[in-house]
Amino acid sequence: MTAQPTLLRLATAGSVDDGKSTLVGRLLHDSKSVLADQLDAVERVSRDRGLATADLALLTDGLRAEREQGITIDVAYRYFATAERSFILADCPGHVQYTRNTVTGASTADAVVLLVDARKGVLEQTRRHLAVAALLRVPHVIVAVNKIDLVGFDGDVFTRVRDQLADVARELGLPDVRAIPVSALEGDNVVDRSSRTDWYDGPSLLEVLETLPVADDPAAEEFRFPVQVVLRPQGAARDEAQREYRGYAGQVASGVVRVGDEVTVLPSGRRTRVVGIDAPQLGGPGRELDEAFAPMSVALRLADEVDVARGDLIAAAASAPEPTRDLVATVCWLSDVPLSKRGRVLLKHTTRTTRAIVGSVDGVLDLDQVTIVGAEDLGLNDIGRIRLRTADPVVAEPYSTSRRTGAFLLIDPQSGATLAAGMVGDPLAGDSRRDDEWDI
* Same-domain status, 13 and 144: yes
The residues near 432 (Cβ < 8 Å, ≥ 6 apart) are none
Q: Report the share of the chain in percent with pLDDT over 70.
A: 85
* Same-domain status, 293 and 366: no
**Domain harbouring 245, CATH code:** 2.40.30.10
pLDDT recorded at residue 161: 95
- Report angle CA 121, 127, 129 to the nearest 5 degrees: 110
Give yes or no for residue 310 having a pLDDT over 90: yes
CA pair distance 327, 357, nearest whole angstrom: 11
Between 428 and 363, whose confidence is greater? Answer: 363
Distances (CA, A) of 236 to 143, 239, 288: 56, 9, 21
Instruction: Judge whether 255 lies within some domain.
Output: yes
Q: How many alpha carbons fall within 13 Å on the CB side of residue 19? A: 27
pLDDT recorded at residue 5: 58
Q: What is the pLDDT of residues 384-403, one digit of tens each?
A: 899 999 999 999 998 888 88
The residues near 243 (Cβ < 8 Å, ≥ 6 apart) are 233, 234, 235, 237
pLDDT recorded at residue 431: 41
Q: Three-class SS of residue 37?
A: helix
Residues 7-29 have a mean pLDDT of: 85
CA pair distance 92, 12, nearest whole angstrom: 6
- 11-15, 32-36, 302-306: the lowest-pLDDT one: 32-36
Residues 326/389, Cβ–Cβ less than 8 Å: yes
Residues 147/185, Cβ–Cβ less than 8 Å: yes
Tally the domains of the chain.
Answer: 3
pLDDT recorded at residue 3: 53
Q: Report the share of the chain in percent with pLDDT over 90.
A: 47
* Same-domain status, 117 and 242: no
Domain boundary among 188, 211, 234: 211
Buried b (16+ CB within 10 A) or exposed e, 326-362: bbbbbbbbbbeeebeeebebbbbbbbbbbebbbbebb
The closest alpha carbon to 177, from 137, 231, 150, 141, belongs to: 141
Instruction: Judge whether 430 lies within some domain.
Output: no
Q: What is the pLDDT of residues 275-294, one digit of tens each?
A: 999 997 765 567 899 999 98
Whole-number average pLDDT of the chain = 84
Residues 120-127 have a mean pLDDT of: 89
The closest alpha carbon to 252, from 405, 424, 138, belongs to: 405
Instruction: Judge whether 437 lies within some domain.
Output: no
* Same-domain status, 87 and 34: yes
Give yes or no for residue 156 having a pLDDT over 90: yes
Give yes or no for residue 432 having a pLDDT over 50: no
* Same-domain status, 160 and 295: no
pLDDT recorded at residue 217: 64
* Same-domain status, 249 and 180: no
The closest alpha carbon to 168, from 371, 370, 398, belongs to: 370
The residues near 430 (Cβ < 8 Å, ≥ 6 apart) are none
Instruction: Judge whether 436 lies within some domain.
Output: no
* Same-domain status, 31 and 54: yes
* Same-domain status, 145 and 285: no
The closest alpha carbon to 89, from 70, 103, 76, belongs to: 76
**Domain harbouring 125, CATH code:** 3.40.50.300
pLDDT recorded at residue 61: 59
pLDDT recorded at residue 215: 59
Residues 202/180, Cβ–Cβ less than 8 Å: yes
* Same-domain status, 193 and 342: no
Instruction: Judge whether 438 lies within some domain.
Output: no
Alpha helix (H) residue ranges in 96-220: 99-106, 124-135, 155-172, 205-211
Domain extent for 244: 219-316
Instruction: Judge whether 400 lies within some domain.
Output: yes
Instruction: Judge whether 171 lies within some domain.
Output: yes
CA pair distance 32, 46, nearest whole angstrom: 19
Instruction: Judge whether 433 lies within some domain.
Output: no
* Same-domain status, 133 and 32: yes
* Same-domain status, 143 and 123: yes
Rounded to whole angstroms, the maximal C-alpha distance in the chain is 76
| β strands within 15-166, DSSP E | 76-81, 85-91, 111-117, 140-146
Angle at which helices 99-106 and 124-135 pack, to 10 degrees? 30
Strand partners, 142: 113, 178
Give yes or no for residue 307 having a pLDDT over 80: yes
Residue 250: what are its φ and ψ, rounded to 5°? Answer: 170, -170
Q: Whats the size of the chain, residue-wise?
A: 440
The residues near 159 (Cβ < 8 Å, ≥ 6 apart) are none
Residue 85's CB is within 10 A of a number of other CB atoms, namely 17
What string of DSSP letters covers 376-427?
Answer: SEE-TT-EEEEEEEEEEEE----TTT-TTTTEEEEE-TTT--EEEEEEE-SP
Burial label for 141, CB within 10 Å (0-12, 13-18, 19+), is buried
CA pair distance 408, 330, nearest whole angstrom: 10
Residues 394/347, Cβ–Cβ less than 8 Å: yes
* Same-domain status, 343 and 382: yes
Residue type, 30: D
CA pair distance 321, 242, nearest whole angstrom: 33
